[in-house]
Amino acid sequence: MLACGALVMTLGVQFLMPLGELSPETPGLAARRTRPVVIPPAPAYSAILAAPIFAPNRLPAPGGSGMPGGGPLAGYAALGAATGRAVATGVVAMPGGQVRALHRGDDMEGWRLVDVNSARLTFERKGVRHDLLVGAPAETQTPATGSASAADQ
């Protein structure tokens, strides 16, 4: 009870005492200069708006491989890859517009998926390896090692 009375008395003294003078600015400091706000111009996004990336009707570019004879996986394109500790999945666009998710070890037209990383999907058949680069159109795919002959296809 005595402590409450002391606190109330201290609070009353605080209100009754005049405020001290505000300290003047230190004369040794330079005046603050405000920085002008610069807003960069917005780039034109008309090309992006004309062909959005995630449009439901967007399909891989048609065409075959740039290799003579159509290449071993002509018309196939790697759309994406997802890798984790225990699993790796690649998404491949097949000729005709079909899209298929493949896991390491799955077969596609006789080609077995042997490696998946964020940049490429590696397929193998009869000792011949072929990479599909993620995001590259089907006509620009090139073999990783070896060459695919007519007997391998």
Instruction: For 40-53, give one letter per residue: b (16+ CB within 10 A) or e.
Output: eeeeeeeeeeeeee
In this predicted structure, what is the pLDDT of residue 108?
86
Query: Contact, 72 vs 148, CB < 8 A?
Result: yes
Query: HSE on the CB side for 59, CA within 13 Å?
Result: 12
Please name the CATH architecture into which domain 74-147 falls. Roll (2.30)
- The ranges assigned to domains in the chain are 74-147
pLDDT tens-place values along the chain, 153 residues long: 899 999 999 988 888 877 666 566 556 667 778 888 888 777 677 766 776 777 777 665 554 444 444 467 878 888 888 888 888 899 998 888 888 999 989 998 889 999 998 888 999 988 888 888 888 887 544 444 444 443 444
Given this model, what pLDDT does residue 118 score?
86
Specify burial of residue 121 (Cβ count, 10 A radius: 0-12, 13-18, 19+): buried
Q: Are 79 and 93 in contact (CB under 8 A)?
A: yes
The structure's pTM equals 0.46
